[in-house]
Amino acid sequence: SNFEETAYLLLNGELPNEAQLEEFRKVERNNREISEDLIAVIARFPKDAHPMDTVRTGVSFLGMEDKDCWNHDPAALLDKSIKLMARIPTIIATDYRFRKGLERVEPRADLGFAENFFHMCFGKVPDQATLKCFDISMILYAEHSFNASTFTARTIISSLSEIYAAITGAIGSLKGPLHGGANEAVMHMLLEVGEPDNAEAWMRDALANKKKVMGFGHRVYKNGDSRVPTMHNAFVEMAKHKRELKWVEIEAILSRIMIEEKGIHPNLDYPAGPSYYLMGFDIDMFTPIFVMSRITGWTAHVMEQLASNRLVRPLSAYNGVPQRAVKPIAER
């Protein structure tokens, strides 16, 4: 399988045959360009701004450009979803190049999804080992039920707002370090540890001082994240390919101690973060890459919500001070 096939499944509810997949790829590849106006806006962003802010603002700008943004017809929503999948990588790569003081690299319609993203970021297509690891991460990050960002998207679209508003809100939620931003925090942690010889002492000190250790635990998976073995294997192969096995050694030591001492297992961010690092991406690019994948899951949820919509309006259980009488202001 590959990410494009997974994206088709999420957006259409069925696996494609060869002709359907080829048509899907054709539509995605032909919609990667972004407008000169959006390119000019990205060029004006502060160079020290987090790339997630660029993605969020870029998607909002796409909504302003789409004169048919309020169209909730299923066919229109599917078209917008594929275009978001196609253009978000271009926004991310354009910002990456500008922040580096480099010229923008145009998308290429003759390249696959992963190949094109590397081309736009680095000006070249990497080897197959790198592409395979990247594609695996895209598949594993694509969809994961009612997480915080997905619920945000569904809540926004339930008010019959437009799809760009829902995705902009989802991106804001994903930016948080307890959600998508965790893959960045994992790599910062690994760099702090530095070497395998430091790993055990670092972890035991972190646990003793009740320090938050990123990349562990999950609100759904209590006995291990089912996505981790596949991503871990891809990470190990990537580390071998780059001759950087120390990151695998550090992760093995940290996870062993965490499981032994706390019974808490690694989540998907734990192997994904260092995998992106080994591919050559800056750490602040990790969560935007997550967006490139999860856009397919978010838009699938948006379409599902609208298919049988009710306004999301949760009730809250009040747990504050008891009811009080209102005193005149002179008596307060």
Share of the chain above pLDDT 90, in %: 94
Q: Which residues share a beta bridge with 216?
A: 266
Question: Among 95, 119, 135, 179, which one carries the catalytic annotation?
Answer: 179
179 counts as catalytic? yes
**pLDDT score at 217:** 85
Q: pLDDT averaged over the chain? A: 96
- What integer is the mean pLDDT of 302-328? 95
Residue ranges of alpha helices (H) inside the chain are: 3-12, 18-29, 36-43, 51-65, 74-99, 113-122, 128-141, 148-158, 163-174, 182-193, 196-208, 228-242, 246-262, 269-279, 286-307
329: three-class secondary structure by DSSP: helix
Q: What is the pLDDT of residues 266-284, one digit of tens each?
A: 999 999 999 999 999 999 9
Q: What are phi and psi of 256, to 5 degrees?
A: -60, -45
Give 266's strand partners: 216
Q: From residue 87, how far is each of 90, 140, 165, 173, 204 by CA, in Å?
A: 5, 20, 16, 20, 44
Q: Which token pair is 214?
A: 């990123």
User: Domains in the chain, start-ordered, CATH in brackets?
Assistant: 3-126+144-175+288-307 (1.10.580.10), 182-278 (1.10.230.10)
Determine contact, residues 90/105, Cβ cutoff 8 Å.
no
Residue 181's pLDDT band (cuts 50, 70, 90): confident
Residues 6+ apart with CB under 8 A from 173: 148, 149, 152, 179
Structure tokens at 273: 């973060």
Give the pLDDT score at 178. Answer: 83
124 pLDDT above the threshold of 80: yes
Residue 318 CA from chain centroid, whole number: 34
pLDDT digits (tens, 9 = 90+) for 141-160: 999 999 999 999 999 999 99
Query: Would you call 143 helix, strand, or coil by DSSP?
Result: coil
pLDDT beyond 80 at 185: yes
Cβ pair 38, 61 in contact under 8 A: yes
pLDDT score recorded for residue 70: 97
Q: Which among 119, 135, 269, 301 is annotated as catalytic?
A: 269
Task: Give yes or no for residue 8 having a pLDDT over 80.
Answer: yes
Q: Which of 112-126, 212-226, 273-287 has the lowest mean pLDDT?
A: 212-226
Catalytic residue among 95, 135, 218, 265: 218
Backbone CA torsion sign across 151, 156, 162, 166 = negative
